[in-house]
Amino acid sequence: MSKILITGGTGLLGRTISEILLQNSHDVVLLSRDKGNYKDIQKFKWDLSKNYIDEKAFEGVDGIIHLAGASIADKRWTDTYKKEIIASRIKSSELLFNYISKNNYPVKTFIGGSAMGYYGSEVSQKVFKESDAPGSDFLAKTCILWEKSYDPFISKKIRTVIIRTGVVLSKHSGAYAKMAPPFKLGFGAAVASGQQNFAWIHINDIANMFVHALQHQHVTGIYNGVSSEFINNKEFSKQLAKSFNKPFFMPNIPAFLLKIAMGEAAVMVTGGVMVSNEKIKETGFKFEFETAETALEDLASS
């Protein structure tokens, strides 16, 4: 089977993709800030500040899954951190391509991460498809630059897939792990108007989508990585409370409080658009979790 190099491989999505690839008899290696092993997967060092990658990481590699990038949710969006968010994505892509191009490594497939933030956060009734124009806020501009950093791979005739990921639901970390505690206690609440769409995807589905893109040669271009269901924040919150058999009665958390607490990053929870996943379905990909109810029941029971 193939040998796959993953950046950001010790993160939530990277870990799950690695597990699936190993179960399917692929070889997996990771790029990381330090060398060594992660659960028996070999890590090779790279350093963006020094434009360095251990070239042994590329030996025998057929495909690359590129997930690296500074988190958009862990810190306030100061001007400095916003620059880091963008730079960590663009520079890492450039560094990968420079090594591949300079050494003529025979990489056949490149799968790059992106996000539904490409479409902006303004609430509307429009259902966004991959061909639609981007938004104009910070996340949209970040995604535009992020995806543009993959152009050299396309120009080099490497099969390139870009996946615009929604809010990933996993019991281990991320949005669900942060949202769930108050709902478990029966004090969960919707945020802002509650009418903003919540474009989610179960961790199993998004990880399998990356693997699907890797394994199927006809998959190329840009795809939305979100569930099939259009659900707003209030309805999602109701389903989350229901998954723990708890009541849902608390008033919505006002948007202005979120803006005080999170600054500009509050737009991640106060805004949200509807996004179509029909294009990835047309390639033959099948979702395990089509509704919030089934996904949240799975997470709560596990």
For the segment 205-261, what is each residue's pLDDT rounded down to a tens digit? 999 999 999 999 999 999 999 999 999 999 999 999 999 999 999 999 999 898 888
More confident residue, 151 or 175: 151
The torsion defined by the Cα of 244, 247, 248 and 250, in degrees rounded to 10, comes to -120
pLDDT tens string 48-94: 999 999 999 999 999 999 999 999 988 899 999 999 999 999 999 99
Contact predicate 140/134, CB 8 Å: yes
The chain-wide mean pLDDT, for the chain, equals 94
What pTM did the predictor assign?
0.94
Q: What's the average model confidence in pLDDT over 39-50?
A: 91
Strands (E), 48-191: 52-53, 63-66, 109-115, 127-128, 159-165, 167-169
Asked if residue 156 has pLDDT above 90, the reply is yes
pLDDT tens string 178-190: 899 999 999 999 9
User: What CATH class has 3-301?
Assistant: alpha beta
Q: What's the average model confidence in pLDDT over 251-274?
A: 89
pLDDT tens string 12-35: 999 999 999 999 999 999 999 888
Q: Pairing relation of β-strands 41-47 and 52-53?
A: antiparallel
Predicted pLDDT at 215: 95
Where in the chain are the domains? Answer: 3-301
The torsion defined by the Cα of 134, 204, 291 and 269, in degrees rounded to 10, comes to -50
Asked if residue 302 has pLDDT above 80, the reply is no
- pLDDT band of residue 132 (cuts 50, 70, 90) is very high
Contact predicate 66/96, CB 8 Å: yes
